[in-house]
Amino acid sequence: MVIRAKAPLRISFAGGGTDVPPFPEREGGAVLSATINRFAYGSLQPRTDGRMSIESVDFGMSMELDCAEDITFDGKLDLVKAAIRRVGRHETEGYDLVLRSNAPPGSGLGSSSTMVVALVGLLQERYQLTLTEYEAAHLAYQIERADLGIHGGLQDHYAATFGGFNYIEFGNHVVVNPLRVRDWIVNELELNLMLCFTGVTRESANIIADQTSRVESKEDDTLAGMRAQKELALAMKTALLRGELNELGALLGEAWTQKKKMSPMISTPHIDEAYEIATANGALGGKVTGAGGGGYMLFYCEFRRKHRVAEVLARMGGEVTEFAFASQGLTTWSMSDA
């Protein structure tokens, strides 16, 4: 029996960074996000020779492990090894793992964290673990942040596990508030939003480490930007649920202005130029979708101007794409290997 899993990537409208410790413990964080039809996929096929093979299509890398040997981290597929070591450390028979994603690592769509969620789904089915959505998301967070010490927040693991539109609150506990967004609003968003790949992937942990050090040293601009992000996440939630989408587009631009205050590493001259060109040609607002420095930018444009914005971004080297929203979170299933 072969086990399959998929978990959706996400776009973040506002609040990103307020989910990164120590800010949520000190002041509470909030993020407005939604999952889209880009996924991290995984397949697990059991074997009986006491070995495990891992193939990562995204990294073009593969390796084999002996079930009887201790798993060590050496920079090669450590995320996968960390998940196996935490969940499947007593494995004796072995299996083949194949993993791939619709977005490259460093895309700003939460691809690395989403892959960990997909891995948790595979291993949960392999070992018949009974986990709630909150437990699965927390386990994925622990694997990436605690076991490997990778700097970052909590939102991606919860977004990928729960799926859909969510207003997620962070503090002593994480609370996921699913939003009942009407169908016409979802359709209109899909018509008016676009993603533009900047052509550059980045190591988000470096940007987040800089942001964290600024929070710990209580730098005024960083804290002001993060507090504004929380307020904007709430304001955008209201605009979203009321169908005030031009207002949401404008708030998206304000979220970008405030986000840039959190660290000088978040924007680049290329990103600033893309934003200025997009808004000059009709975009109501936009922002990077992750920690910053590269990856994807999200723009809101009225449909009649959207093609013009896409054309000017393409002329400056951006890869423009449309997308749809995905309502389901982490999904697992099994099939015969015959």
Residues with a catalytic annotation lie at 156
Smallest Cα–Cα separation from 244: which of 210, 208, 284, 214?
284
DSSP 244: -
Alpha helix segments (H runs only) across the chain: 23-27, 78-87, 111-126, 133-141, 155-162, 183-192, 204-216, 220-242, 245-259, 269-280, 303-315
Cα(134)–Cα(161) distance, integer angstroms: 8
Say what the alpha-carbon torsion angle 262, 33, 175, 41 is, to the nearest 10 degrees.
-110
Beta carbons of 32 and 233 less than 8 angstroms apart: yes
Q: Which two tokens stand for residue 195?
A: 């993603």
Cα separation, 203 vs 88, whole angstroms: 28
Tokens 């539109």 sit at which residue? 165
Percentages (nearest 5) of helix, strand, coil residues in the chain:
40, 25, 30
CA–CA dist 260, 263 (Å, integer):
6
Angle, vertex CA 97, rays to CA 126 and CA 145, nearest 5: 80
| Integer CA distances (angstroms), 263 to 110, 318, 327, in order | 19, 24, 32
Between CA 133 and CA 65 the distance in angstroms is 29
CB burial of 138-168 (b: ≥16 within 10 Å; e: otherwise) equals: bbbbbbbbebbebbbbbbbbbbbbbbbbbbb
Residue 319 is encoded by which pair of tokens? Answer: 């890869």
